[in-house]
Copies of this chain bind each other. A is one copy, B any other.
Amino acid sequence: MATRAVRGLGQYSGVARAVERVGERWALLIVRDLLHGARRYSDLKQGLPRIPTNILSDRLKELQEAGIVRRVPTVRGGYELTPYGRALEPAVLALERWGISALGEPGDDEIVTADVLATMLRAAFRPAEAAALPPTEYVLHVGGASVSATVIGDRLDIVPVGPGALPQPARAVSAEPPEAILELLAEPPVFAGLLSGDGTGAGAAEIDRVSVLAGRPSFVERFTRTFHVERVGPAADGEQVAADTAVA
């Protein structure tokens, strides 16, 4: 049984409410995956390999009760976000940005899924920078997952590609793809570094370690300008604090 809500945090606060509703283990990762479209039970389970099936079931039930998730009537075992759940996107992307900047090395059995990759891209996407660049399609292969990110103006569209991706139904705008295409292959940490590198000096190390499978290598710089997150390492402990900070 989905127990919960008995343990409020005792604060009339937005963050507290948010934590009460999506703070349970796994909950936010389910939301993250659903942000990219409806998913079936087995899709979710596959994307979250370490989640026990009963926990997935519990979370989905709780998220439904909270009005964050609902079933897709037409699809057996299908789930999707409600508008209320979709409103979590800014928060999820903000957390993603923070997390990206200190991903470190992958753990032994840590995987990268298409949804993980898509979230990284959407978190790192900079519409203002992108708008100034020519339309480009980026095909990324990172740690076994593959997505195609098409950037036209300040718009970003991501679709899963390659083996393992189900046929994508009814793309609204199947206008002709941009003529500029860049296809990259990179190990997960290299890819993370590519997103959070400073682009010029230090980031060059990552650039050398990505394989350009198709497209002009100079497009890599276009990619790093389009997709970028500020690096904020965990306490290099180098700098001094403003010691006069108030202890109120």
Contact = CB atoms under 8 A, between A and B. Distances in A.
B18 A99 contact: yes
A148 to B, nearest CB: 12
Interface of A is mostly: loop
A245 interface: yes
Interface string A1-39: 000000011111111111101010110110010000111
Nearest to A101: B87
Interface string A193-225: 000000000000000000000000000000000
A241 interface: yes
B166 A248 contact: yes
Given A15-B29, A110-B8, A234-B68, A245 B38 contact: yes
Contacts of A109: 10
Contacts of A67: 234-235, 237
B14 A119 contact: yes
B234 A66 contact: yes
Interface of A: 8-19, 21, 23, 25-26, 28-29, 32, 37-40, 43, 48-50, 66-68, 70, 72-75, 78, 80, 82-84, 87-88, 90-104, 106-107, 109-113, 116, 119-120, 123, 143, 159-160, 165-166, 168-170, 188-189, 192, 230, 232-235, 237, 239, 241, 243-248
